[in-house]
């Protein structure tokens, strides 16, 4: 579904991504892991059209996305759950969800999507008239994911969804992603510093270090790697 070829991205002439290539097949849950500052968020922002590479290509089902504005990339079928959630804190849960459906003008389709996300996150149904800024951290992360799902993406990208959450809520979020992948066949690209948990649920994973892919394999292969255990798992 997604093929990234030799991607180079820089900030103020300083390369942040250095020839990154990876692929995400339809129906996969793929994890991109690495230390803080490795370039993971930059990678997602580039795929989403928020940054423009100076070399390389991003292909969705064979069509290049480079140069398209972000809203067009959403229309092509990619939605990003950004780091830090980026909710409209003064809007209600319901209003935030509607912003996610901006590319879906059909009222019937919007109602159906609302039913689906409320089924996935019953807590949001209870809080639908509450302002997003008054939600707990876990509820805000649920809302950020649900807002992205309102666009009916074929590829859901998430940037550090476990950030700042207590372990119980991290488990809930990751279980929800597994459910989306397993029951709905949703293709997911998950960026995480929480290496063990991300690789444990991933079909495949890539390790990003200083802007380069240094390892790849199945989630279990990477977890069993001595290099991963020493560098990221403290073993």
* Domain end position, chosen among 97, 117, 151: 151
Inter-CA distances, 137 with 56, 133, 152, 159, 161, Å: 36, 9, 24, 15, 11
- Provide the CATH number for the domain around residue 163: 3.40.50.300
Q: How far is C-alpha 162 from the chain's CA centre?
A: 11
Same-domain status, 107 and 211? no
Is the CB of residue 48 less than 8 Å from the CB of residue 157? yes
* pLDDT recorded at residue 107: 86
Same-domain status, 171 and 227? yes
Q: Band the pLDDT of 164: cuts 50, 70, 90.
A: confident
Using CA atoms, how far apart are residues 1 and 58, in angstroms rounded to an integer? 11
At 61, give phi and psi (nearest 5°). 50, 45
Would residue 158 count as lying in a domain?
yes
Is the CB of residue 225 less than 8 Å from the CB of residue 215? yes
CA 46, 76, 197, 84 torsion: positive or negative? positive
Using CA atoms, how far apart are residues 59 and 218, in angstroms rounded to an integer? 22
One DSSP character per residue, 85-154 reads: ----TTSBHHHHHHHHTTT---HHHHHHHHHHHHHH-HHHHHTTTSBGGGS-HHHHHHHHHHHHHTT--S
Would residue 58 count as lying in a domain?
yes
Average pLDDT, the chain: 93
Same-domain status, 25 and 52? yes
Would residue 82 count as lying in a domain?
no
Q: What is the mean pLDDT of residues 171-184?
A: 93
Q: Band the pLDDT of 106: cuts 50, 70, 90.
A: confident
Q: What is the mean pLDDT of residues 209-229?
A: 93
Q: Band the pLDDT of 85: cuts 50, 70, 90.
A: confident
H or E, element range at 50 = none
C-alpha gyration radius of the chain: 17
Q: In this structure, what token pair is assigned to residue 138?
A: 């876990």
Cross-strand bridge partners of residue 74: none
Same-domain status, 30 and 64? yes
* pLDDT recorded at residue 122: 94
Higher pLDDT, 102 or 61: 61
Number of domains in the chain: 2
* pLDDT recorded at residue 234: 62
Same-domain status, 128 and 188? no
Same-domain status, 140 and 209? no
Same-domain status, 147 and 158? no
């Amino acid at each position: 579904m997604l093929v990234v070829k030799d991607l180079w991205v820089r900030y103020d002439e300083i390369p942040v991504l250095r020839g990154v290539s990876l692929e995400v097949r339809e129906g996969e849950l793929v994890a991109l892991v690495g230390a803080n500052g490795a370039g993971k968020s930059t990678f997602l922002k580039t795929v989403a059209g928020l940054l423009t590479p100076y070399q390389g290509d991003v292909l969705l089902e064979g069509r290049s996305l480079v140069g398209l504005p972000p809203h067009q990339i959403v229309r092509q079928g990619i939605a990003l759950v950004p780091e830090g959630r980026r909710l409209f804190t003064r809007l209600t849960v319901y209003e935030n969800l509607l912003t996610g459906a901006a590319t879906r003008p059909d009222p019937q389709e919007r109602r159906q999507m609302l039913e689906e996300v409320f089924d996935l996150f019953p807590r949001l149904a209870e809080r639908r008239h509450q302002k997003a800024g008054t939600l707990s951290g876990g509820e805000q992360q649920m809302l950020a994911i649900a807002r992205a799902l309102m666009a009916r993406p074929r590829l859901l990208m998430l940037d550090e969804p476990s950030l700042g959450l207590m372990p119980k809520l991290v488990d809930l979020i990751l279980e929800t992603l597994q459910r989306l992948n397993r029951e709905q066949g949703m293709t997911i690209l998950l960026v995480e510093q929480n290496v063990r948990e991300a690789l444990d649920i991933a079909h495949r994973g890539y390790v990003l270090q200083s802007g380069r892919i240094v390892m790849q394999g199945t989630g279990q292969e990477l977890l069993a790697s001595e290099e991963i255990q020493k560098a990221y798992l403290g073993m």
